Amino acid sequence: MKLCRFGEKGKERPGVWMEDGRILDVRALAFHIEDYNEHFFVNYGVEQLKLLLADPGANFIAAKGVRLGPPVARPSKIICVGANYADHAKEFGHEIPTEPILFSKATSALNGPFDPIHLPVESQVVDGEAELAVVIGKRTSKVRKAEALDYVAGYTVLNDVTERIVQKANGQWFRGKGFDSFCPLGPFLVTSDEVPVLGNLRVWQKHNGEVLQDGNSKDMMFDVPFLIEYISQGMTLNPGDIIATGTPSGIGSARSPQVLLAAGDVVEVGVDRVGAQRSNVV
């Protein structure tokens, strides 16, 4: 199942993306499901959506021309993993980490998967980073690796847009990765049953149609179950929280000459079986 949120920015409605070009309007039939947020995952979840799909009173709308927002309403946390692909660590000048490098992105940076990326006035060196993202489905604390995937609602695509000069200026990454619109997410939350194998997913980025990144999730140094175990040992993950699992090599700022995001560009990122997004840079 592919969960989506559709409509005007800030007024999105929960939906289910159908492969025939329609969207199930969840709230039209189940008015108590306000959004895909923590309350939804705790109280209703995917099982109720299956019942709605089978209901003869289900309301569908045509998907063509409809704006999609991030598939998860503002989560309590967006946790990112740095340098989780060895080749990317090398191109970025990192030593190969012996345990995950964690940082966060501001929830206010969330952007729709086809919305424009707005460059701040002071921006100089801006990259896109294609990433597989994990959406937590239930309260997760001190979970062991063997059971970790039982706590996952599904997967989505995240572009970890980054201003490199700002990132490196103050010894911390938060501001350079937290500008408004610097976290395009989606287009879908794809439920776990549709992505049964996480260890062989192509992760890619295109800049104005040219491939920059072309990696595979099998090359992660720390896989998804390990990351959930590692993070949850000391930090409770709430339903709807997002873990961005890192980006493969090929980022534009590591190339010679550099390939940087500038106004007028188009950046596309995707993960096989999960989805693809396309953003104009303004």
**pLDDT given for residue 42 in this prediction:** 94
Q: What is the DSSP code (8-state) at residue 163?
A: E
Q: For residues 253-262, give the mean pLDDT.
A: 96
Structural element, H or E, at residue 39:
helix 38-43
Q: Tell me: the pLDDT tens digits for 145-185?
A: 999 999 999 999 999 999 999 998 978 899 999 999 999 99
First to last CA, the chain: 33
Contacts of 160 (CB under 8 A, 6+ apart): 80, 105, 128, 129, 131, 177, 182, 183, 244, 247
Report the alpha-carbon distance of residue 84 to residue 248 in Å, rounded: 8
- Confidence bin at 135 (pLDDT 50/70/90): very high
pLDDT of 178-204, one tens digit each? 999 999 999 999 999 999 999 999 999
Q: How far apart are CA 24 and CA 49, in angstroms?
A: 9
Burial class (CB in 10 A: 0-12, 13-18, 19+), 107: middle
What is the C-alpha to C-alpha distance for residues 277 and 114, in angstroms, rounded to an integer?
6
Is pTM, for the whole model, over 0.75? yes
Question: Which domains are delineated in the chain?
Answer: 2-69 (no CATH), 78-280 (3.90.850.10)
Task: Read off the tokens for 105.
Answer: 């992105």
Query: Mean per-residue pLDDT for 227-245?
Result: 98
Matching residue, tokens 């970790």: 148
Proportion of the chain above pLDDT 90, given as a percent: 91
DSSP helix/strand/coil, 166 = helix
Closest CA to 205 of 260, 135, 142, 123: 260
